[in-house]
Homo-oligomer: A and B are copies of this chain.
Amino acid sequence: MALQIRSLIRANGELELSLHDDPIPEPQAHEVVIRVEASPLNPSDLGLLFGAADMGTAKASGTADRPVVTASVPEGGMRAMAARLDDSMPVGNEGAGLVVEAGSSPAAQALLGKTVAAIGGAMYAQYRAVPVAQTLLLPEGATAVDGASSFVNPLTALGMIETMRREGHTALVHTAAASNLGQMLNRICMKDGIALVNIVRKPEQAELLKGIGAKYVCDSSTPTFLQDLTDALAATGATIAFDATGGGKLGGQILGCMEAAINRNAKEYSRYGSNIHKQVYLYGGLDTKPTEFVRNFGMAWGMGGWLLFPFLVKIGPAAAEVLKQRVASELKTTFASHYSNEISLAEVLDPGTIAVYNQRATGTKYLINPGKGL
């Protein structure tokens, strides 16, 4: 049997997290069975794991081997949960491990005994069957820990740059920029010679980024933030931003500063603003407040959602494969991830541990090792 984390929200507003016993899956012809050895707790996973529940209300029950956590979903959050009510859901976007069984297809057989990364949900489990197309063979010498985060962060970072290019921009802005993803984006941009404006929330995050060589870092906690940001935008010409915070005023402030930077060189007044298109994509929701902006950036602007999988579908499999191969070839350099702790499946369900990793704070990213403690 194989353990798997499940997340269930009941119609009465209760979230229940538990470990589920499943048979070890049998592979289809085009699938491999991975013994998962490492799977990161990404912000996107936490969204599915906890839903709209208030984890301040988390209570432990069950046993040490089979812990259960319950928490309450505030009434205002239940509307968004309607579609998943009473549906016990597996969790875990990505991970890596050893291929212990393979389907009959040659592509699957070729991976037997190899360490691969994979994407496809339900990775917070001891064993997982996934289609070969959703795996990435790790290069010689790379461990499951090295490859655990091969998909979400690397392809998101590369996807941002690809989006920037395809939409006609030449430099970009990133928020929550000291995150694992943000540091990765800095490494890509330095390597590729792309100007990147980093926005962080704390002085120590600014120091961290400057320490790895970031040139433009703006700290939103300083009184000169808007001025600093406008200066950086004028220097780089960045007119596209990827915002992980989603809520609050930051997205609108970026558009406003882009317009101010453009207007430094404006020759004549137009009350509709510049005709240079300014774009902010909200790809996360670290700030759960409503999104709010004053429209002080003219009429040539856009804001919208950005999500990795629809982006990969849009660019097509050939273009996506180019991005994946770049990840494999730079796995231990450009695309290296760092984790502050490695925990077992049972520890994922410990309220004290949840209180730490659910802060989603820079430098406290956790890795799950489903084999730990068994």
CB distance from A228 to the nearest CB of B (A): 17
Q: In whole angstroms, how far apart are the Cα atoms of A47 and B271 in the complex?
A: 8
B-contact 0/1 string along A30-71, CB 8 Å cutoff: 000000000000000001100100000000000000000000
Q: A305-B301, A307-B299 are in contact. Are A83 and B272 (CB under 8 A)?
A: no
* Interface pair A302/B300, CB less than 8 Å apart: no
Instruction: Select the stretch in A156-164, A215-223, A284-292 that faces chain B.
Output: A284-292
* Interface pair A84/B295, CB less than 8 Å apart: no
* Interface pair B291/A293, CB less than 8 Å apart: yes
A266 at the interface (CB under 8 A from B): yes
Instruction: Name the CB-closest residue of B to A303.
Output: B303
A318 at the interface (CB under 8 A from B): no
B-contact 0/1 string along A307-350, CB 8 Å cutoff: 10110000000000000000000000000000000000000000
* Interface pair A305/B298, CB less than 8 Å apart: yes
Q: In whole angstroms, how far apart are the Cα atoms of A306 and B310 in the complex?
A: 25
Q: A246-B295, A291-B293, A295-B291 are in contact. Are A83 and B301 (CB under 8 A)?
A: no
* Interface pair A87/B269, CB less than 8 Å apart: yes
Q: Which residues of B contact A309 (CB under 8 A)?
A: 272
Q: In whole angstroms, how far apart are the Cα atoms of A298 and B310 in the complex?
A: 12
A25 at the interface (CB under 8 A from B): no
Identify which of B51, B83, B263, B271 contacts A266 (C-beta below 8 A).
B83
A13 at the interface (CB under 8 A from B): no
Identify which of B290, B295, B304 contacts A302 (C-beta below 8 A).
B304
A80 at the interface (CB under 8 A from B): yes
* Interface pair A296/B87, CB less than 8 Å apart: no
Looking at chain A's contact residues, the main secondary structure is mixed
A282 at the interface (CB under 8 A from B): yes
Q: In whole angstroms, how far apart are the Cα atoms of A272 and B311 in the complex?
A: 13
CB distance from A90 to the nearest CB of B (A): 12
Q: Which residues of B contact A299 (CB under 8 A)?
A: 283, 305-307, 310
Q: Which residues of B contact A47 (CB under 8 A)?
A: 271
A275 at the interface (CB under 8 A from B): yes
A79 at the interface (CB under 8 A from B): yes
A27 at the interface (CB under 8 A from B): no
Q: In whole angstroms, how far apart are the Cα atoms of A269 and B88 in the complex?
A: 12
Of listed A51, A272, A293, A305, residue having the most chain B CB within 10 A: A305
Q: In whole angstroms, how far apart are the Cα atoms of A107 and B366 in the complex?
A: 73
Interface residue tally for chain A (C-beta within 8 Å):
43
A294 at the interface (CB under 8 A from B): yes
Of listed A51, A87, A269, A285, residue having the most chain B CB within 10 A: A269
Q: Which residues of B contact A303 (CB under 8 A)?
A: 302-304
B-contact 0/1 string along A74-94, CB 8 Å cutoff: 000001101110010100000
A247 at the interface (CB under 8 A from B): yes
* Interface pair B290/A293, CB less than 8 Å apart: yes
Q: Which residues of B contact A247 (CB under 8 A)?
A: 295
Instruction: Name the CB-closest residue of B to A289.
Output: B294
Q: In whole angstroms, how far apart are the Cα atoms of A302 and B47 in the complex?
A: 21
Instruction: Name the CB-closest residue of B to A275.
Output: B310
Identify which of B89, B282, B292 contacts A290 (C-beta below 8 A).
B292
* Interface pair A305/B302, CB less than 8 Å apart: yes
Nearest 3 CB-CB pairings of A with B: A302-B304, A299-B305, A83-B269
Residue contacts A-B, CB under 8 angstroms, 20 given: A48-B271, A51-B271, A79-B296, A83-B263, A83-B266, A83-B268, A83-B270, A84-B271, A246-B295, A252-B290, A252-B291, A272-B307, A291-B295, A300-B307, A300-B310, A301-B305, A302-B302, A302-B303, A303-B303, A303-B304
